Amino acid sequence: MPSRDPMMEKPSAVIDAHATHWASLYPDAPEEIRARIKSIVAKSSIIAQVELPETRAMPGGGRADTLTAMAEADGDVRHMVLLLTERQTSSGCVLSAFPFAAGAITHPVRIEHVASTGGAEGQIRGRTEDGAEISFFDTLFFKNGGDYQVGESYQFALSAFAYSLRPYGLRVVRGCDTVAPPDVLKPARQGGNDDYEFRATVQHVYPMRLDTGTVYRMRVTVARTGQSMVDVALYAAEHVLPAGYRPKPGDEITGRLWLQGYLVED
3-state SS of 101-163 is ECCCEEEEEEEEEEEEECCCEEEEEEEECCCCEEEEEECCHHHHHHHCCCCCEEEEEEEEEEE
* Counted domains in the chain: 2
134 and 257 share one domain: yes
Please, what are the averages of pLDDT over each run of 10 residues along the chain (266 residues)?
43 67 89 82 88 86 89 91 87 88 94 89 92 92 94 96 89 55 81 92 93 92 72 95 94 95 89
The whole-model pTM stands at 0.88
Instruction: Supply the pLDDT for residue 143.
Output: 93
Shared domain for 82 and 49, answered yes or no, is yes
In one letter, which amino acid is 191? G
pLDDT of residue 112: 97
Q: What pLDDT does residue 79 have?
A: 92
pLDDT for the residue numbered 178:
52
**What's the pLDDT at 218?**
96
**Which pLDDT score, from 0 to 100, does residue 4 have?**
43
**What's the pLDDT score for residue 7?**
41
Final residue belonging to a domain, choices 61, 80, 99: 99
* pLDDT for 220: 92
Based on the domain organization, do 53 and 116 belong to the same domain?
Answer: no
Quickly count: other Cβ atoms within 10 Å of residue 115's Cβ: 15
Let me know whether 92 and 113 are in one domain: no
Question: Cα–Cα–Cα angle for 138, 142, 143, nearest 5°?
Answer: 100
Whether residues 73 and 183 share a domain: the answer is no
Give the pLDDT of residue 266: 66
Out of 99, 133, 149, a domain closes at: 99
Angle at the Cα of 213 (from 14 to 238), degrees rounded to 5?
90
What's the DSSP call for residue 69? E
In a domain, 1, yes or no: no
Same domain, 51 and 150: no
Residue 165: CB atoms within 10 Å: 28
Domain around 160: 105-261
